[in-house]
């Protein structure tokens, strides 16, 4: 696996690689602390492209909590080993100067409204502007043909869809299914902060979402919502930040079941101080 840290080296290497004939490049941006969820994106990209580039960069501008940024896990050596083991060909490991050459003070403001103001955007002011800034910079450098993102961060997928349109990137976006542990908990780099008991509690999130998927349409939408919030909040150390149903396409929160539409139930639940995101897509 080739490992590059400088933006200029990455651009040079990629232009050499592409010289002469068209090879498709798949790109998987991450913040590291890699798990099977990340590796599934890398593997999918490797199946569908001649070259797969992964990036690891803990983007400070998308953290609105200094402690969260400071405590974010950074097991770089094992990340490099995992990527090499699955056969990833190229790893970009930039530092702040490579991503923000003119500094982090003056971020570009993208037209994300209302995506950056609702749900995860409302809970984490500035978060999605930070995400858009880093992904824009990375896409500009890598110029991939295909971008692989996880469904686990559904709202982020919507934000990046908007970014692709805004910047007119000719990139195909592939949203990959959420990878879960045996209990159903969505894999996340933050799961390492959960104790064994908290991890057990956290499996209730997916159990509730699958209950909604299977039985939700039998009840009024608002009743489903309040029942599930009540059940999750009754668990020890557990607080639902939000649980909402949105039209999957436009990501607009709704309070009644629509007919014949694809919807997504999105939730953020804090367990023992660890914030966990999950969602389920369903047809009505
Ligand atoms: P992160 O390192 O958390 O920024 O995530 C990098 C990419 O991996 C994003 O596109 C995430 O949505 C995706 N991802 C994270 N966890 C999972 C998971 N459990 N299943 C599938 N994709 C995931």
User: What is the structure's pLDDT at 20?
Assistant: 75
Q: What is the pLDDT of residues 11-34, one digit of tens each?
A: 999 999 998 778 999 999 999 999
> How far does the centroid of ligand 1 lie from the alpha carbon of residue 155, in Å?
12
User: What is the structure's pLDDT at 231?
Assistant: 98
Burial of 97 (0-12, 13-18, 19+ CB in 10 A): exposed
Q: Enumerate the active-site residues.
A: 38
Both structure tokens of 173: 């976006």
Q: Whose CA is nearest to atom 10 of ligand 1?
A: 149
User: What atom of ligand 1 comes closest to residue 41's alpha carbon?
Assistant: 22
* 92 neighbors 55 (Cβ within 8 angstroms): yes
Q: Whose CA is nearest to atom 6 of ligand 1?
A: 30
**Cβ partners under 8 Å of residue 129, min gap 6:** 61, 107, 108, 109, 110, 112, 116
- Whether pTM > 0.85 for this model: the answer is yes
User: What is the structure's pLDDT at 256?
Assistant: 98
| Probe residue for ligand 1, chosen from 41, 180, 202, 266 as the CB with the greatest number of ligand atoms within 8 Å | 41
> How far does the centroid of ligand 1 lie from the alpha carbon of residue 218, in Å?
32
**Ligand 1 neighbours by CB, cut-off 6 Å:** 30-31, 37-38, 40-41, 149-150, 152-153, 176, 178-179, 186-189
Q: Which of 46, 28, 55 is nearest to 85 (CA)?
A: 46
Q: Whose CA is nearest to atom 8 of ligand 1?
A: 38
User: What is the structure's pLDDT at 188?
Assistant: 97
Name all domains of the chain by residue range, CATH numbers in brackets. 2-176 (3.40.50.620), 189-283 (3.30.1300.10)
Q: Which of 168, 178, 172 is nearest to 145 (CA)?
A: 172
> How far does the centroid of ligand 1 lie from the alpha carbon of residue 7, in Å?
23
Q: What is the pLDDT of residues 150-200, one digit of tens each?
A: 999 999 999 999 999 999 999 999 999 999 999 999 999 999 999 999 999
Q: Which of 11, 93, 24, 82 is nearest to 52 (CA)?
A: 24
**Cβ partners under 8 Å of residue 172, min gap 6:** 145, 146, 147
Q: Whose CA is nearest to atom 12 of ligand 1?
A: 150
> How far does the centroid of ligand 1 lie from the alpha carbon of residue 6, in Å?
24
- Phi/psi for 267 (5° steps) reads -145, 150
The CA distance from 179 to 42, in Å, is 13
The CA distance from 163 to 14, in Å, is 23
The CA distance from 5 to 95, in Å, is 7
User: What atom of ligand 1 comes closest to residue 33's alpha carbon?
Assistant: 2
């Amino acid at each position: 696996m080739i490992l590059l840290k400088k933006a200029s080296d990455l651009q040079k290497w990629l232009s050499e690689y592409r010289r002469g004939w068209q090879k498709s490049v798949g790109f998987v941006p991450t913040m590291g602390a890699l798990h099977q969820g990340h590796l599934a994106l890398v593997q999918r990209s490797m199946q569908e492209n001649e070259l797969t580039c992964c990036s690891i960069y803990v983007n400070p501008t998308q953290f609105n909590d200094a402690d969260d940024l400071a405590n974010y896990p950074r097991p770089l050596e094992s990340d490099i080993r995992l990527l090499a083991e699955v056969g990833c060909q190229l790893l970009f490991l930039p530092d702040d100067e490579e991503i923000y050459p003119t500094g982090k003070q003056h971020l570009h403001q993208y037209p994300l409204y209302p995506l950056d103001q609702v749900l995860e955007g409302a809970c984490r002011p500035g978060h999605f502007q930070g995400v858009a800034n880093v992904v824009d910079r990375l896409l500009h450098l890598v110029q991939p043909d295909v971008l692989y993102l996880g469904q686990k961060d559904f709202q982020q997928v919507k934000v990046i869809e908007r970014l692709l349109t805004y910047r007119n990137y000719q990139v195909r976006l592939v949203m990959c299914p959420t990878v879960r542990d045996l209990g159903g908990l969505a894999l996340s780099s933050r799961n390492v902060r959960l104790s064994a008991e908290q991890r057990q509690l956290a499996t209730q999130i997916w159990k509730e979402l699958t209950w909604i998927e299977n039985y939700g349409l039998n009840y009024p939408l608002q009743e489903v919502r309040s029942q599930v919030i009540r059940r999750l909040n009754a668990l020890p150390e557990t607080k639902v930040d939000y649980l909402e149903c949105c039209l999957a396409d436009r990501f607009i929160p709704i309070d009644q079941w629509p007919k014949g539409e694809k919807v997504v139930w999105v939730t953020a639940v804090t367990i023992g101080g660890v914030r966990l995101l999950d969602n389920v897509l369903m047809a009505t």
